[in-house]
């Protein structure tokens, strides 16, 4: 599957209400997550996704995000192949921050992606 075959949406199309039926799945590494992430996102590093599928509701709409979009292509392909309804968030967390969307981080850390 090529990049063009992967369903994707711009950051502005990610629903603000992450209520369980909609999941923003952040697949970046722990250190990237700690620097800043979207409020309400669920963190499962890319390498852990296959072992932690039980943490992702198969009935939910899953928006997959990484730093800039490269890793999320692979995860979206994988999730869709095994029965999930997943889409890639184009531009990743870099586009998220550039769009002025909210960020959060650990207490005492100024949230930033780049």
104 in a structural domain: no
Cα–Cα nearest to 90, from 31, 38, 13, 35: 13
Predicted TM-score of the model (pTM) = 0.94
Instruction: Tell me if 105 is assigned to some domain.
Output: no
Report the CATH number at residue 37. 3.40.250.10
**One of 25, 49, 66, 73 is an active-site residue; which one?**
66
- Rounded Cα distance between 67 and 27, Å, is 9
Select from 53, 89, 107 the least CA-distant residue to 44: 53
- 107 in a domain, yes or no? no
Task: Quote the pLDDT of residue 2.
Answer: 47
Asked whether residue 16 is domain-assigned, the answer is yes
Q: Look up 66 and say whether it is catalytic.
A: yes
CA 73, CA 88: separation in Å to the nearest integer? Answer: 6
Chain segment 5-30, per-residue pLDDT in tens: 899 999 999 999 998 899 999 999 99
What's the domain range around 54? 3-98
Q: How many separate domains does the chain show?
A: 1
Domain assignment present for 103: no
**Radius of gyration, alpha carbons of the chain:** 13
């Amino acid at each position: 599957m090529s990049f063009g075959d992967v369903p994707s949406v711009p950051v502005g199309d990610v629903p603000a209400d992450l209520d369980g039926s909609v999941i923003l799945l952040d697949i970046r590494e722990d250190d990237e997550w700690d620097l800043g992430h979207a409020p309400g996102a669920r963190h499962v590093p890319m390498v852990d996704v296959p072992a932690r599928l039980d943490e992702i509701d198969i009935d939910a709409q899953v928006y997959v995000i990484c730093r800039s979009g490269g890793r999320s292509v692979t995860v979206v392909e994988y999730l869709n192949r095994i029965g999930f309804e997943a889409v890639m968030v184009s531009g990743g967390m870099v586009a998220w921050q550039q769009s002025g969307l909210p960020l959060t981080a650990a207490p005492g850390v100024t949230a930033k992606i780049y």
